[in-house]
Amino acid sequence: MEHALTIGKISTTDEAERAFLETRKSYDSHWRLSHRSDTLLQRYANVMEQLDALSEARIDLESEIIASMQRDGATEWVDGPHTAKLKQSRSYVQDKLTPILEIVPEDDLVAAKAYTPEHEETILIKAKWDLRKTMPFAKRGKAIQDVIDDASIKGTPKLSVETKNATEGLRTVQEPK
């Protein structure tokens, strides 16, 4: 003879067993989800650590490539399907360009929009140079080129690497962020 158990709505042994199994199933499901979350979070943390390490390795390699290219005086390296290009931006110390005014008439520079003299609007606007338009004046003599070179400030070198896809002939460009 089966003993009947009555707890709340549960009145038979089968119902009690079913309730126990449902509770156990719910617990197991929660444990699995919790355990899966821990595993996923741990995997995520591991991937993030690996990405940090790879990022540091990439930065080290880029620095090495840039130093080697600068040492060799190269702006482009080709190695099989890979092409590295080195770009160097420049800015100029505006005040160091003033000696050009002694060599080239100011009117010529202003007309070429290479130079904007100091002037007042509502505030004093300092003189400024547009080197894209000033560079052609270097043709008038080495003295101008020397002044421009002296005013030059090298920017941070930028490296871009292209990889030619052998099957499609396409290039992918990878530039640092």
Residue 28: strand, helix, or coil: helix
Helix (H) or strand (E) holding 60: helix 13-72
Task: Mention every residue, 6+ apart, whose C-beta is less than 8 A from residue 80.
Answer: none
Q: Which pLDDT does position 32 carry in this prediction?
A: 62
Write the CB contacts of 67 (distance below 8 Å, at least 6 apart in sequence).
none
Question: Residue 119: pLDDT above 80?
Answer: yes
Q: How confident is the model at residue 2 (pLDDT cuts 50, 70, 90)?
A: very low
The pLDDT score that the predictor gives to residue 136 is: 93
Q: pLDDT (tens digit, 9 = 90+) per residue, 56-114?
A: 999 999 899 999 988 998 888 888 888 899 888 888 998 999 999 999 999 999 999 99
Q: What percentage of residues in the chain have a pLDDT greater than 70?
A: 77
Burial class (CB in 10 A: 0-12, 13-18, 19+), 112: middle
Phi then psi for residue 44, to 5 deg, are -60, -45
For residue range 17-45, what is the model confidence (pLDDT) as tens digits? 777 777 777 666 665 655 666 787 788 88
158/166 Cα distance (integer angstroms): 26
Provide mean pLDDT across the span 138-154: 92
Q: What whole-number distance in Å separates Cα of residue 89 and Cα of residue 75?
A: 13
The CA distance from 173 to 177, in Å, is 12
Report which of residues 7 and 78 the model is more confident about.
78
Cβ-contact 66, 76 below 8 angstroms: no
Q: Is the pLDDT of residue 1 over 80?
A: no
